[in-house]
Structure 1
Amino acid sequence: MSKSQKNKDKKKRSGIGKFGDNFNFFNSMWLILIIIFGLNLLIPAVTNMQVKEVPYSTFVSQVDAGSVTNVDINTYDVTWTTEEDGKTQAYTAGKVDDPQLVERLEENNVTYSTEIYRPTSPIVSFLLSFILPFAIIYWLMGKLMRRLTGGNDGKIDLSGGGGFGGMNFGKSDAKIYVKSDNSRTFTDVAGQDEAKESLEEVVDYLKNPKKYKAIGAQAPRGVLLVGPPGTGKTLMAQAVAGEANVPFFSIAGSEFVEMFVGRGAAKVRDLFKQANEKAPCIVFIDEIDTIGKSRENNMSTNDEREQTLNQLLTEMDGFEGDKGVIILAATNRPESLDKALLRPGRFDRQISMELPDLKGREEILRVHAKDYKMGANIDYRYIARATAGASGADLANIINEAGLRAVRNNHTEISQIDLDESVDVVLAGQIKKNDILSAEERRIVSYHEIGHALVAAKQSGSAPVEKITIIPRTSGALGYTMQVESGEKSLYTKQELYNQLMTLAGGRAAEEVVFGQITTGASNDIQKMTKIARAMVTQYGMSDTFGMMQLETQTNRYLSDNTQLQISGGTAEKADQEVISLIKRAHQEAGEILMNSREKLDELAEYLIQEETITGEQFMKILNK
């Protein structure tokens, strides 16, 4: 270990460093002020307890009685002590013009003294009263300003100075990582083959810049990673730095946004200064939409975010493209970014990191499983099929949940059962052990779930039923029916979407067919049905009335499914009527399927009540019997 590294470690252990500097300077100032304030309160209080203030007549009587031992005669008061019961007591009294005082003291053999007056020089008095306080204040303010600017003489201190309350004025909070034995590489990133292929060129440029300079080619200055949360954007940026074996600067966009205008811009300047000194390197800005939002609707001309964005644009234009500083940024909201930030020469390349497909999910599961002790016969393909729409973070969570379950059950390794249960936990929540349904509620839930499964099984082209359960979960579900596609599904026909509407309506239809009444158990089904039917009419061009006219647009592709209407009120009413018509028709046809299969409905529901959970294989065996 180098000497400088040892000193850094020593500072960390002793509390010295960035936090230690802040504590030693600012906290010491506060501590001194508190001590001075306390002494100002404490000293008079203690003094008042030791010295008794009495009238001057008491002093005269005590002198005449011979109990006074010594007297201090001051300008405005008289202080003396007496011996009472072997204890010394101090007194003070306001001075009175008494010409006989000295004579009385001498008669009673009292030792007395008075203060010696020495006139103070006017120059010394002026220095002590005015110059010294201003000098101290000036020194403290200078010390404070050097702290706030992050260095000396207004310069940025790159060595790691302090700040005010943990805030570094003008100093970036970027975390610097360098190549190490556990650095991330492309082998740690799965399910994003297209993104890796696009970034391999950046890695090659950082490794071999000469062959690009030979023909005048330059690597992209900025690469923007966009995609839903949990798809591995930060991991991908780390992998690029690991593959290229270059320093990696990581900072979140929110760390640029400060309370005072100008501080964010100063942090941007410092970040790029550090990056240029460490070039070639990777600078990664996570959640760049925090500072890179569009300025179209921003009326402020002195906004902190806008100044920070302007400084970022200036710095990206200022550094030389062949120096080897590559800016990687990540966001879930690319539509909100300023157009000036996305133009060529700044962020030249935009790489989409979408949710993984079936093959990608299986690869991600295998990558995360390397860190766990897995059983010999794990079916990763099945878990991948059961988790359609899951992100890489979701899949990592599923593996970890399986590990936690294996530990709880005292297993020596993770089994397929652990993984299957972890999928249920992530999708529907933990089992609610204390939520016990009554016998009547169990019957209703059982018929409800069999209604879903039976309608799905009677259709052609629907995903096979994999599991049916009536065990309550912490998500609020009293039971659920799991369908798993046999392969990856990217496109859905109008009939397939309509089949989904019928399957979702099967639960409520079963309640009506068997019990002649409806319950609140279909609330989530209704929500999903409305969403699918509305999308068919307003987004997918599957409407008989509007055809291929788009009525709604998504406001945010990656963070939510919220949409915005682009039509008049009259058109919106017609769209609502068509959505209602679709849902009603699907509900009616689901009811007809169940009435025509009433015997199987009863048989399957009774079997589910007894078993609580049945597999798709058991379901189909009874159905086809």
Structure 2
Amino acid sequence: MKIYPEIKFDNFAKQVEKGLVGGISLKYVADGKEVKNFESNQIVILMQSRNGEISTTQKIEIFKFTFTEFVSQGKNGEVDGAVIVSNKKTFRQSGFFGRIKNWFKEATEQSYILGWLKNGTLFIGDPPPSLLNPGDFAKMLHEYNIKYWELDILRIEESNFFGKWGFMIGSAILIFPFPLFVAISNSNIGRKRDEAAKAAIAAKQKTTFDNIAGIDEAKAEVLEILDFIKFSEEFARYGARTPKGFLFVGPPGCGKTLLAKALAEEAKIPFKAVVPSEFVTVWRASGATSVRAVFQEVRNMAKANGTAAILFIDEIDSLGSRGIDSQWEDKEDSRTITQVLTEMDGFQPNEKIFVIGATNRPEVMDPAIRRPGRFDREIIVPFPDLKGRKEILSVHCRNKPLSPETDLEKVAELTPLGFSRADLANVANEASIRAVRLKKRSIEIDDFEMAIEKVLVGSERKSTIMREEDKIRAAYHEMGHGIMMKFAGCGGFPQKISIIPTTKGVGGFTKAPQKEDKYYYTKKDFLTRIKVLFGGRAAEEIIYGSDEISTGAKEDLQQVTKIVEEMICDFGMASDILGPRTLGLIEGSPYLGKTFRKRNYSEKTAKDVDSAIREILTNCYNETKKILEDYRQYLEKSAQELKKKETLNGEEMETILKEIKEPLGALSLFLL
């Protein structure tokens, strides 16, 4: 390793803070020699200043953090500073072969976080996950008061042809053109094969609006697009500009792609579907070229057929989420999306090219993409309601032999609000598979019930052997939930309680009684929900004591905390303390269920919020314990029965209750 002027780490940190450092590189060392990163936990940091001078720090011990560990340390206020190192730019020494090697490295160079704790510990951490919005990551750093800087990866290559890498790089240059030619040729051949395969599949699987149900409003708006395509002259006669871009927005699996295919089929016009990953490859500048080729292909399709044509771009947010001003900008992605926008702006008035984009993350998309003139309309494709779920099940059960007693409306009632079209299709398929395995002549209602459970919590793992003490503890826990569903105001006993572990990691579950879809919730509804969730933990405390509470209530506690936070911060349900107001800004992706709250209130208000949360949770927990203590005899007997049978339904729970003579206080509560 080449020798450079040596500085202390403190001096390095000060130069970073002053903005004097342009790029850095880490070298793992042992016995004065450079080694691989898994062979040592000591490093030196090579630093290039803005004036081009290179220096190195003294040997330092470093620890490795995962991104989760980094966030945890930051949340606890332990992180003093962090450097986000990426290959957005490069610092190279002169030399032709050094530049060639750097070019090869650009495709594989990994970003990382180099940070130091307040106690002086130096660590290297994984970069933020790709699903995390870079803007959200920056806000998180500000929220945790972490000082951070962005630096580039420093690459130092020898320029001497006869140096260590001269022969290898020279050989690579000599043989490079041939594999490049083969790779590009194979890529083109593979793309043509893929397109031919897609066309063959599409020809067999015709999608029409008859195959789409449960999203009537979205379907009506798409039918309006059909009118734009078929009767464009009529709209032009009235001076109306025909929209050319449409953005389908909604949760995954709700039918966005299906709507686009049905539109093309009904309009009898060419349809081409692409995903952003088809635009971007390891070859530089190929994204924009691919975009031009795709748009030209769609134009040719429309011209050849003498009709309009549709270009469908699925998951468009993966390109459009990175704006031109983003500090985490990927130049290749930026060129690609810019080319898409240029093509859309370049449509001639007589060109009947319609672009449909689909996304489940509209909040991260650049406003330049969503503006009118590019994507003129946003069509929301939501989760289906109860009526919609029944219609979707009817579509997917058209060719299935249902028994006369199977009522699809009842099946729809068994599914929760939030089940997507894809979930319902999976339920219908799983019910069919179960009927076949059991050699039934038709599909019965219990097949659908088991299919819904399988989609929600996974298959039963009956082969798992649980200890007797774990089984009875799980029985007390789940019966705690079940009793609270009956006596806290949920409308009756649960449909089913099980203590059989499932393939999705659930140790047991309690299925709530059937209820209609509800879109407005009162404070009483939330408090009832909290008491039901507290039922498992409270039952364990009553039976085993406060020192023997298990980890089984972890998810219950997470849910009650989230519910109370929403009550106070989103719905103003603690107005006697905080006033009728909302607290915090919600950011993230609601369609994917990934949101976080950004604080916009004072420390005093934060203490009031904590106090209100604690008061509500404490009162609900005490009320839950009181109800379960009144019904302790019922809790113990029903838990023993559940341990014995492993599953109980509502009717069996009611039978057990009738066999028990409850105390007067509990009986009066039951009569209420």
Cross-structure match for 1:496: 525
Are 1:387 and 2:415 counterparts? Answer: yes
CA distance in 2, matches of 1:301, 1:481: 46
CA deviation map 1:144-169 (0-9, x unaligned):
99x79xxxxxxxxxxxxx93452689
Counterpart pick for 2:573 among 525, 542, 549? 542
Are 1:334 and 2:368 counterparts? Answer: no
Matches within 5 A, 1:340-359: 340-359=368-387
CA distance in 2, matches of 1:504, 1:268: 51
CA distance in 2, matches of 1:487, 1:549: 28
CA deviation map 1:175-213 (0-9, x unaligned):
775985741011111211110101111112223333223
Please give the TM-score of this superposition, normalised by the length of structure 2. 0.65
What letter matches 1:163 in structure 2?
I
What letter matches 2:439 in structure 1?
N
Cross-structure match for 1:452: 481
Q: Helix, strand or coil for the counterpart of 1:163?
A: helix
Q: State the 1:232 CA deviation.
A: 1.3
CA distance in 1, matches of 2:284, 2:615: 55
Q: State the 1:239 CA deviation.
A: 1.0
Cross-structure match for 1:407: 436
Counterpart pick for 1:247 among 231, 248, 270? 270
CA contact (8 A) 2:493 2:653 kept: no
CA contact (8 A) 1:250 1:286 kept: yes
Q: State the 1:595 CA deviation.
A: 1.0
Matches within 5 A, 1:167-566: 177=199, 180=203, 182-279=205-302, 280-295=308-323, 297-299=325-327, 303-388=331-416, 389-462=418-491, 465-516=494-545, 517-544=548-575, 545-546=577-578, 547-566=580-599
Are 1:575 and 2:598 counterparts? Answer: no
Cross-structure match for 1:155: none
Q: Helix, strand or coil for the counterpart of 2:298?
A: helix
CA contact (8 A) 1:172 1:268 kept: no
Q: State the 1:271 CA deviation.
A: 1.4
CA deviation map 1:278-336 (0-9, x unaligned):
22111100011122124264258881111111111111111134432111110111111
CA distance in 2, matches of 1:306, 1:258: 14
CA distance in 2, matches of 1:228, 1:488: 18
Cross-structure match for 1:623: 657
CA distance in 2, matches of 1:398, 1:475: 16
What letter matches 2:359 in structure 1?
T
Q: Helix, strand or coil for the counterpart of 2:187?
A: coil
What letter matches 2:212 in structure 1?
V
Cα gap change, 1:352 to 1:495, in 2 (>3 Å):
same
Q: State the 1:603 CA deviation.
A: 3.2
Counterpart pick for 1:163 among 178, 181, 184? 184
Cα gap change, 1:316 to 1:170, in 2 (>3 Å):
farther
Cα gap change, 1:302 to 1:471, in 2 (>3 Å):
closer
After TM superposition, the runs of 4+ consecutive aligned structure 1 residues lying more than 3 A away are: 167-182, 299-302, 461-464, 571-574, 620-625
What letter matches 1:362 in structure 2?
K
CA contact (8 A) 2:583 2:600 kept: no
CA distance in 1, matches of 2:486, 2:542: 18
CA contact (8 A) 2:246 2:375 kept: yes
Q: State the 1:223 CA deviation.
A: 0.6
CA distance in 2, matches of 1:614, 1:200: 48
CA distance in 1, matches of 2:412, 2:600: 40
CA contact (8 A) 2:322 2:329 kept: no
Matches within 5 A, 1:19-98: none
CA contact (8 A) 2:324 2:334 kept: no
Cross-structure match for 1:601: 635
Q: State the 1:466 CA deviation.
A: 1.2
Cα gap change, 1:232 to 1:219, in 2 (>3 Å):
same
CA contact (8 A) 1:292 1:341 kept: yes
CA distance in 2, matches of 1:350, 1:520: 45
CA contact (8 A) 1:257 1:291 kept: no
Are 1:613 and 2:634 counterparts? Answer: no
Q: State the 1:174 CA deviation.
A: 6.6
What letter matches 1:448 in structure 2?
H
CA contact (8 A) 2:207 2:262 kept: yes
Q: Provide structure 2 residue ranges, at least 5 long, that are not aligned to the other structure.
A: 1-172, 303-307, 660-672
CA distance in 2, matches of 1:307, 1:332: 23
CA deviation map 1:531-568 (0-9, x unaligned):
21222222222234334222241311111233132235
CA distance in 1, matches of 2:259, 2:295: 21
CA distance in 1, matches of 2:255, 2:623: 43
CA contact (8 A) 1:385 1:484 kept: no
Q: Helix, strand or coil for the counterpart of 2:488?
A: coil
Q: Helix, strand or coil for the counterpart of 1:282?
A: strand
CA distance in 1, matches of 2:357, 2:427: 28
Q: State the 1:269 CA deviation.
A: 1.2
What letter matches 1:495 in structure 2?
K
CA deviation map 1:207-236 (0-9, x unaligned):
333322333333311110011111111111
RMSD over aligned CA atoms reads: 3.0
CA deviation map 1:427-453 (0-9, x unaligned):
111111222333333322222212111
CA contact (8 A) 1:172 1:270 kept: no
CA contact (8 A) 1:254 1:287 kept: no
What letter matches 1:522 in structure 2?
A
CA distance in 1, matches of 2:412, 2:581: 34
Cα gap change, 1:481 to 1:344, in 2 (>3 Å):
same
Cα gap change, 1:276 to 1:144, in 2 (>3 Å):
farther
CA contact (8 A) 2:315 2:358 kept: yes
CA distance in 1, matches of 2:193, 2:279: 8
Q: Helix, strand or coil for the counterpart of 1:554?
A: strand
Cα gap change, 1:349 to 1:370, in 2 (>3 Å):
same
Equivalent pairs, count:
473
Cross-structure match for 1:55: none
CA distance in 1, matches of 2:349, 2:610: 54
Q: State the 1:348 CA deviation.
A: 0.2
Q: State the 1:404 CA deviation.
A: 2.1
CA distance in 1, matches of 2:636, 2:327: 65
CA contact (8 A) 1:221 1:321 kept: no
Cα gap change, 1:554 to 1:494, in 2 (>3 Å):
farther
Cross-structure match for 1:117: none
Cα gap change, 1:172 to 1:569, in 2 (>3 Å):
farther
CA distance in 2, matches of 1:189, 1:239: 8
Larger radius of gyration: 1
Cα gap change, 1:464 to 1:599, in 2 (>3 Å):
closer
Counterpart pick for 1:584 among 610, 614, 618? 618
What letter matches 2:420 in structure 1?
S
CA contact (8 A) 2:634 2:657 kept: yes
Cα gap change, 1:604 to 1:301, in 2 (>3 Å):
closer
What letter matches 2:309 in structure 1?
C
Q: Helix, strand or coil for the counterpart of 1:166?
A: helix
What letter matches 2:529 in structure 1?
Q
Q: Helix, strand or coil for the counterpart of 2:356?
A: strand
CA distance in 1, matches of 2:388, 2:293: 39
Q: State the 1:253 CA deviation.
A: 1.6
CA contact (8 A) 1:600 1:623 kept: yes
